[in-house]
């Protein structure tokens, strides 16, 4: 809009922060006073903190993707999902990814790649979604998810996962982005080795 | 985990709901009492309502993807984004998508496709992200975003968008999923017409 506007694309400055509501560990809400690059001040920009989580696109050596089918209360339906879970306070994101893959599926993997980190809301924040790919996954122990949801492990071909995504079988944005980035990563790997 | 468990994969039943906090129109928080299929009752399952939004993967006839570069306060950095915005009360999701594309870029498109709807949080809900593809977009008026952010329109090739996604240039999950689903949709269209 304003290639000639030198104020464009500079970060906002946070002038102050007023906590409004907290329900640990699920969320906290605050109003921030922010100064925009053009000089305007917004006194009550809503910021929401939520726990960050790891999402895992994991393949076996046979190129099967480890998926879970479960009822999820957010979308209020049964959804195909990828293994995922919150990053605990003592962990980094990859440690959380490795732990959640093991707990939810019983699989471990020798090769890990970070595929990206994304804010869950462009304006309010709402925590980060950290996406990992894991290759060469194999079963090493029984799954022990310990979650409220009953989960069924499904090993999908890449083609079946792509079809599930296009068909609306994945109801949650984190699983959708991890499935997409994982499929893009394996396409890049295939090109490099071709 | 329990293919033999007839209780698996049935929806939870909501027994009651207690509002906790509201900051309209940004969010409201409630505790739900829910009955799980195995008979357990959880008295305080946190549910968060947030506005649903539309995300748009729009291409010109020359196969350029309409992207915006802007500072976003959620991730607290400059990010490549796709056009997007909240679904207003009087609109359906596609009307919001068409309006936001026009406001943020000045472009309109004759061909629209719904690519999916996703809960922003698997457990807490946090509103829906509705993803649309628009083809044959062309400029029809000056952009008038009316947002707090200064935006710069960038017309990227599919290859450049794919590279931006892999390089971490997209910091927000809604833009990442819309870019991924849009690129997958054009790959499917190319296959069908090949």
d(CA A127, CA A54): 11
User: Are both B124 and B33 inside the same structural domain?
Assistant: no
Mean pLDDT, residues B134-139 taken together: 98
Mean pLDDT, residues A111-123 taken together: 98
User: Are both A58 and A35 inside the same structural domain?
Assistant: no
The range of the structural domain enclosing residue A37 comes to 13-49
Interface contact flag, B180 A175, Cβ < 8 Å? no
d(CA B8, CA B1): 9
Nearest CA in chain B to A1: B152
pLDDT at A4: 52
Interface contact flag, B122 A74, Cβ < 8 Å? yes
Q: What is chain A's mean pLDDT, rounded?
A: 94
Return the C-alpha torsion angle B72, B76, B166, B51, nearest 10: -50
User: Are both B74 and B160 inside the same structural domain?
Assistant: yes
Mean pLDDT, residues B38-45 taken together: 95
According to DSSP, the β-strands at B53-60 and B125-139 are parallel
- The count of other CB atoms within 10 Å of the CB of residue B169 is 19
Chain A closest-CA separation from residue B58 CA (Å): 18
pLDDT at B62: 98
Nearest alpha-carbon partner for B176 in B98, B81, B54: B81
Phi, psi of A183 (to 5 degrees): -65, -35
d(CA A162, CA B111): 23
Q: pLDDT band for B63, please (50, 70, 90 cuts).
A: very high
Residue A40 has pLDDT above 70, yes or no: yes
pLDDT at B121: 97
User: Are both A154 and A188 inside the same structural domain?
Assistant: yes
More confident residue, A194 or B137: B137
Interface contact flag, A118 B184, Cβ < 8 Å? no
pLDDT at A11: 95
Percent of chain A with pLDDT over 90: 89
Residue A48 CA to chain centroid, in angstroms? 17
For residues A66 and A155, the answer to whether their CB atoms sit within 8 Å is yes
Question: For chain B, what is the largest distance between any 2 Cα atoms, rounded to a whole number of angstroms?
Answer: 60
DSSP A172: B
pTM, two decimal places = 0.95
User: Are both A45 and A98 inside the same structural domain?
Assistant: no
Helix axes A158-166, A173-193, angle to 10 degrees: 140
Mean pLDDT, residues B105-113 taken together: 98
Q: Which residues of A touch B151 (CB under 8 A)?
A: 1
Mean pLDDT, residues B119-140 taken together: 98
Q: Which residues of B touch A3 (CB under 8 A)?
A: 152
User: Are both A36 and A114 inside the same structural domain?
Assistant: no
B177 lies in some domain: yes
User: Are both B60 and B135 inside the same structural domain?
Assistant: yes
For residues B138 and B64, the answer to whether their CB atoms sit within 8 Å is no
Q: Which residues of A touch B177 (CB under 8 A)?
A: 173, 176-177, 180
pLDDT at A71: 96
Q: Which of A142-151, B53-62, B147-156 has the highest mean pLDDT?
A: B53-62
- Using alpha carbons only, how large is chain B's radius of gyration in Å? 20
d(CA B121, CA A83): 14
User: Are both B42 and B86 inside the same structural domain?
Assistant: no
pLDDT at A194: 75
Interface contact flag, B124 A7, Cβ < 8 Å? no
pLDDT at A2: 45
Q: How many domains does chain B have?
A: 2
A99 lies in some domain: yes
Q: pLDDT band for B1, please (50, 70, 90 cuts).
A: very low
User: Are both B184 and B152 inside the same structural domain?
Assistant: yes
Residue B2 has pLDDT above 50, yes or no: no
A91-105: pLDDT as tens digits:
999 999 999 999 999
pLDDT at A28: 97
Residue B6 has pLDDT above 80, yes or no: no
pLDDT at B132: 98
Interface contact flag, A74 B124, Cβ < 8 Å? yes
How many interchain CB pairs under 8 A, A with B?
220
B95 lies in some domain: yes
State the first-to-last Cα distance of chain B, in angstroms, to the nearest integer.
42
A45-81: pLDDT as tens digits:
999 999 999 999 999 999 999 999 999 999 999 999 9
User: Are both A57 and A34 inside the same structural domain?
Assistant: no
Mean pLDDT, residues B120-149 taken together: 95
Nearest CA in chain B to A173: B118
């Amino acid at each position: 809009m304003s290639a000639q506007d030198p104020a464009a694309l500079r970060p906002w400055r946070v002038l102050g922060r007023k906590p409004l509501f907290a329900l640990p560990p699920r969320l906290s809400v605050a109003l921030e006073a922010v100064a925009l690059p053009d000089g305007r001040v917004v006194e009550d920009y809503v910021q929401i903190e939520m726990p960050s989580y790891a999402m895992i696109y994991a393949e076996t050596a046979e190129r099967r993707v480890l998926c879970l089918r479960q009822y999820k209360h957010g979308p209020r339906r049964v959804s195909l999902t990828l293994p995922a879970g919150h990053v605990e306070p003592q962990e980094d994101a990859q440690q959380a990814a490795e732990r959640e893959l093991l707990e939810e599926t019983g699989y471990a993997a020798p090769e890990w790649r970070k595929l990206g980190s994304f804010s869950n809301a462009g304006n309010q924040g709402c925590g980060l979604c950290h996406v990992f790919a894991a290759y060469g996954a194999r079963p090493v122990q029984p799954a022990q998810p310990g979650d409220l949801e009953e989960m069924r492990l499904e090993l999908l071909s890449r083609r079946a996962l792509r079809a599930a995504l296009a068909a609306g079988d994945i109801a949650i944005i984190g699983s959708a982005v991890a499935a997409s980035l994982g499929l893009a990563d394996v396409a890049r790997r295939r090109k490099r080795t071709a």
